[in-house]
């Protein structure tokens, strides 16, 4: 961008602002229609200028004067240009859609793979007298229904967590970019853990709305013998028995389980990756091969998964029991289970969630590598903060 075009753009912006102010403050002139394509294009341009594209560096497209200074003194835009081998630009529609695809694959496949363990975990939670332990749960399940019984509930698991993964990972990237743009480079770095927590919580809020109907069907199929054998059989029966409300009966407990889980999953993972490269990996990330980077991703994912399992387990027990009992509320379930009952099945869930989370991050990162998507390194302190704190 040249100096002349930058000034022209600034003049156009001021003219539009003046017109909007005049239109909104004058009776009868408040009906302004902004073309949708123009509004979306402007928003996407704003999204691209964020501190997570190529962390905290000045973009090549930054408007500068001939002497090399930014047009606005002291202001530098952190943004990502499309690298030569990248298939898309960071912050573009295509980037976010591919992140959603990565979420579908990472969550849908991994949750479906651990369906047998999830089945036993749910049955321990709702009927601990019959299913006394993980091994006993597997033994009883196989004895009653054969090996095929271990796959009970795979369909709602696959479809439900595929939809959840799309929103969880896709919207996390959207919210992280959007919130970081709102608060700027310095605050994005200094409060990056908070940024990860808020972004992941925002994404999971919507992801659980997509997951709730399938989660309700899954729990009924797995823990209510004779209720239904397939998803096609369960959905119409749920609607006939409880109406649409039955599909979202467990939504609030699901939020209570999944939002803390996801906040821990993303924030712990992001900070663990940062610490591993800083203190454990013997060479800079830029010098690591993609295979070595994926090993770090898996390790950080497993560490995050252990913490995820612990913080979300009580709510997971409530969700399992709530979907099994008609007419019960979350409070009723908590009183019935008691403190000890809320922690039943924690051991298998730690194994399941630890492995699950590690595999999800590995698949998600591998999809980015496979699709040649931008993979920014851990954030670094902006130059402005280094000067502010006197760091060379």
Compute the average pLDDT of residues 32-44: 47
pLDDT of 252 over the 80 cut:
yes
> Is 305 inside any structural domain?
yes
How many residues comprise the chain? 392
> Is 58 inside any structural domain?
no
**Are 98 and 28 contained in the same domain?**
no
* Maximal C-alpha separation, the chain: 79
* Four-residue CA torsion sign, 247, 249, 252, 257: negative
211 pLDDT band (50/70/90 cuts)?
A: very high
pTM of the predicted structure, to 2 decimals: 0.71
Residue 382 CA to residue 79 CA, distance in Å, equals: 13
Query: C-alpha dihedral over 314, 316, 319, 324, to 10 degrees?
Result: -100
> Is 87 inside any structural domain?
no
Among 291-295, 329-333, 356-360, 368-372, which is the least confidently predicted range? 329-333
151 pLDDT band (50/70/90 cuts)?
A: very high
Among 55-69, 228-242, 296-310, which is the least confidently predicted range? 55-69
Among 97-111, 258-272, 308-322, which is the least confidently predicted range? 308-322
> Is 336 inside any structural domain?
yes
**Are 161 and 280 contained in the same domain?**
yes
**Are 25 and 99 contained in the same domain?**
no
Among 254-263, 341-350, 364-373, which is the least confidently predicted range? 341-350
CATH of the domain at 343: 1.50.40.10
pLDDT of 136 over the 80 cut:
yes
What phi, psi does 58 have (nearest 5°)?
-75, 130
pLDDT of 243 over the 80 cut:
yes
The residue with tokens 């399940």 is 141
Neighbouring-strand partners of residue 58 = 78
The reported pLDDT for the residue numbered 7 is 42
The reported pLDDT for the residue numbered 392 is 63
Residue 329 CA to residue 336 CA, distance in Å, equals: 11
Contact predicate 375/88, CB 8 Å: no
Q: In the structure encoding, which two tokens stand for residue 356, read together?
A: 């699950």
CA proximity to 142, closest of 129, 125, 123: 123
pLDDT of 41 over the 60 cut:
no
**Are 206 and 290 contained in the same domain?**
yes
**Are 174 and 303 contained in the same domain?**
yes
The reported pLDDT for the residue numbered 84 is 67
**Each residue of 261-307: pLDDT tens digit?**
899 999 999 999 999 999 999 999 999 999 999 999 999 999 999 98
Q: Residue 361, class by beta-carbon neighbours within 10 Å (0-12 exposed, 13-18 middle, 19+ buried)? A: buried
Q: In the structure encoding, which two tokens stand for residue 387, read together?
A: 């000067």
* CA distances in angstroms from 135 to 116, 148, 157, listed in the order given: 12, 17, 22
The reported pLDDT for the residue numbered 326 is 67
Compute the average pLDDT of residues 64-81: 37
**Residue predicted with more confidence, 270 or 317:** 270
**Are 23 and 130 contained in the same domain?**
no
The reported pLDDT for the residue numbered 343 is 87
> Is 149 inside any structural domain?
yes
Element (H, E) at 194: helix 192-223
**Count of structural domains within the chain:** 2
pLDDT of 256 over the 90 cut:
no
Residue 269 CA to residue 262 CA, distance in Å, equals: 10
Q: In the structure encoding, which two tokens stand for residue 377, read together?
A: 């390194």
Residue 34 CA to residue 19 CA, distance in Å, equals: 13
**Are 270 and 339 contained in the same domain?**
yes
The domain of 26 spans 3-33
Residue 16 CA to residue 170 CA, distance in Å, equals: 33
Compute the average pLDDT of residues 64-88: 48
Element (H, E) at 243: none
> Is 169 inside any structural domain?
yes
When the pLDDT of each residue in the chain is averaged and rounded to a whole number, the result is: 80
323 pLDDT band (50/70/90 cuts)?
A: low
**Are 230 and 126 contained in the same domain?**
yes
**Are 204 and 338 contained in the same domain?**
yes
**Are 226 and 121 contained in the same domain?**
yes
Q: In the structure encoding, which two tokens stand for residue 267, read together?
A: 């924030």
**Are 211 and 105 contained in the same domain?**
yes
**Are 315 and 181 contained in the same domain?**
yes
What phi, psi does 68 have (nearest 5°)?
95, -5
Q: In the structure encoding, which two tokens stand for residue 194, read together?
A: 């908070």
The SS3 call for residue 53 is coil
pLDDT of 227 over the 70 cut:
yes
> Is 189 inside any structural domain?
yes
- Write b or e for each residue in 237-249: b if 16 or more Cβ atoms lie within 10 A of its Cβ, otherwise e: ebeeeeeeebbbb
The reported pLDDT for the residue numbered 21 is 40
CA proximity to 217, closest of 183, 200, 242: 242
CA proximity to 170, closest of 273, 94, 81: 94
The reported pLDDT for the residue numbered 13 is 45
> Is 63 inside any structural domain?
no
178 pLDDT band (50/70/90 cuts)?
A: very high
* CA distances in angstroms from 210 to 5, 33, 165, listed in the order given: 45, 32, 10
Contact predicate 301/360, CB 8 Å: yes
Compute the average pLDDT of residues 95-110: 96
pLDDT of 30 over the 50 cut:
no
What phi, psi does 64 have (nearest 5°)?
-135, 155
Distance of CA 340 to the CA centre of its chain: 30
CA proximity to 313, closest of 346, 268, 336: 346
The reported pLDDT for the residue numbered 45 is 53
């Amino acid at each position: 961008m040249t100096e002349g075009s930058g000034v022209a753009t600034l003049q156009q912006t001021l003219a539009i602002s003046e017109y909007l102010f005049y239109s909104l403050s004058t009776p009868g002139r408040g009906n302004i229609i902004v073309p949708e394509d123009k509004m979306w294009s402007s928003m996407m341009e704003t999204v691209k200028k964020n501190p997570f594209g190529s962390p905290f560096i000045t973009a090549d497209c930054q408007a500068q004067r001939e002497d090399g200074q930014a047009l606005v003194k002291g202001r530098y835009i952190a943004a990502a240009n499309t690298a030569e081998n990248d298939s898309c630009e960071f912050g573009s529609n295509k980037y976010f859609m591919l992140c959603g695809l990565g979420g579908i694959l990472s969550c849908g496949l991994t949750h479906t793979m651990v369906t047998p363990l999830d089945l036993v975990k749910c049955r321990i939670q709702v009927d601990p007298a019959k299913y006394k332990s993980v091994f006993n749960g597997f033994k009883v399940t196989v004895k009653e229904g054969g090996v095929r019984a271990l796959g009970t509930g795979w369909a709602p698991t696959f479809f439900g967590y595929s939809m959840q993964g799309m929103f969880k990972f896709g919207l996390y990237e959207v919210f992280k970019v959007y919130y970081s743009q709102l608060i700027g480079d310095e605050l994005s770095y200094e409060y990056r853990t908070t940024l990860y927590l808020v972004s992941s919580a925002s994404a999971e809020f919507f992801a659980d709305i997509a997951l709730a109907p399938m989660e309700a069907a899954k729990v009924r199929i797995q823990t209510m013998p004779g209720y239904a054998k397939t998803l096609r059989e369960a959905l119409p029966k749920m609607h006939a028995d409880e109406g649409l409300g039955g599909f979202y009966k467990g939504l609030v407990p699901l939020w209570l389980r999944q939002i803390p889980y996801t906040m821990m999953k993303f924030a712990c993972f992001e900070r663990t990756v940062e610490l591993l490269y800083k203190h454990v990996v013997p060479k800079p990330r830029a010098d690591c091969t993609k295979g070595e980077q994926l090993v770090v991703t898996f390790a950080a994912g497993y560490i995050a998964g252990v913490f995820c399992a612990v913080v979300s387990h009580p709510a997971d027990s409530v969700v399992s029991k709530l979907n099994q009992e008609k007419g019960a509320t979350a409070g009723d379930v908590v009183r019935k289970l008691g403190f000890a009952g809320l922690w039943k099945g924690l051991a298998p869930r730690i194994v399941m969630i630890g492995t699950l989370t590690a595999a999800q991050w590995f698949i998600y990162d591998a999809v980015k590598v496979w699709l040649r998507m931008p993979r920014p390194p851990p954030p670094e302190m902006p130059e402005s903060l280094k000067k502010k704190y006197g760091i060379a």
